[in-house]
Structure 1
């Protein structure tokens, strides 16, 4: 998933709202599908809302955009979440699907969804990671508005090949080290494409960090 990919969330309950808000706070376009009018009223604050039943193909089609890469089914019903993912795949086989599953034996659903998320044993950050894919991961034991990102440098990244001291980072950003590195990043160290780094960033500038490390979308 690139930084501008649209995220579609099915379910505007507590988990769905919190996940959607985290993406919206990063500047990521987000749409939430919610069938319950009361929940929908609460949901329609920080992101686009589509009212309706997400298991219906017409509702999913109405919420999809050309840049939608992932649909996350985060309702409190496991059967609904699986149905949403299966319908979405029928509409667009290239969509990445993430389903909220209550049963810890959820690995048996690997043939039907791309990734499962267990809210009882994982944080909201874990859900965001499941939706984001492998290029960017937020460490899950960090509190507050600070994000610790495990991020891979793209081959079109504007900071590729630059020394850390030469990069103009937004305020509130600090490269900590290479991922799995044993020493802190040094000012004269060059940024290498394809390599992963741990980066501390205040939540409001996470999108700027993604621009620097992965390149802005045209």
Structure 2
């Protein structure tokens, strides 16, 4: 997937790193020279300019982006970015600091696809919001290990299987299971899998696509991660 991230500060750069590790295409937009140089030193594509300007967003590839993350510390810039990105049909994610009052949050939440509090959610939370969908990253355990929560779909190859019949790749293991709208629990081998059920899986990044195909049933390039609150990393 293609993402444009506005802001190459702490939140934006960490989010970009997480997305790049999963093979996504990232373009950063930043107007602070030092932050531009830092991101470029990490071999990111960076557009030097004000992300609230439509011409800059077009240069960054907003016309082909799947989602735009406005992750600067400036609420006005973030909101303007999202309004422009919405015009181009992108999923829009806006950073808002916890210092803002609840009524301000509600006002902006109606205008964008998702509002995130990076101070609380961390880079994984911002990544989840950008991706949207039926899979939720819970935590990065190590450079190549991630815990994800997946929701079984009607098209999943394992729909109707029991836990004992589930054959995941060698570098993946089930940690918890929950029926639709039920609590997550230690899985029983006799539990059957149905659409809407959830599995929490620990997996190596190299086998995540295979795990997703089994449990979600979509093509790996079309699978996206569910937005949701998580405390998987610091902002």
Q: Please classify the TM superposition score into its range, dividing by the shorter chain length.
A: 0.7 to 0.9
- Residue from 186, 198, 201 that aligns with 2:200: 198
**Structure 1 residue 65, shift from structure 2 partner:** 6.1
2:4 and 2:62 in contact (8 A); partners too: no
- Residue from 196, 211, 214 that aligns with 1:212: 214
User: Is 1:95 equivalent to 2:90 in the alignment?
Assistant: yes
User: Is 1:132 equivalent to 2:119 in the alignment?
Assistant: no
Match of 1:152 in 2: 151
Q: Report SS of the residue matched to 2:196.
A: coil
2:171 and 2:203 in contact (8 A); partners too: yes
The unaligned stretches of length 5 or more in structure 2 are 223-235
The TM-score, its normalising length taken from structure 1, stands at 0.79
- Counterpart-to-counterpart distance in 1, 2:16 and 2:210: 19
Q: How does 1:31-110 map to 2 (within 5 A)?
A: 31-44=27-40, 45=42, 47-64=44-61, 68-90=65-87, 92=88, 94-102=89-97, 103-105=99-101, 106-110=105-109
1:38-65 deviation digits (Å, cap 9, x = unpaired): 3222213354433332111122123336
The unaligned stretches of length 5 or more in structure 1 are none
- Residue from 13, 27, 30 that aligns with 1:17: 13
- In angstroms, what is the RMSD of aligned CA positions? 2.8
- Counterpart-to-counterpart distance in 2, 1:46 and 1:36: 17
In the alignment of these two chains, the number of paired residues is 211
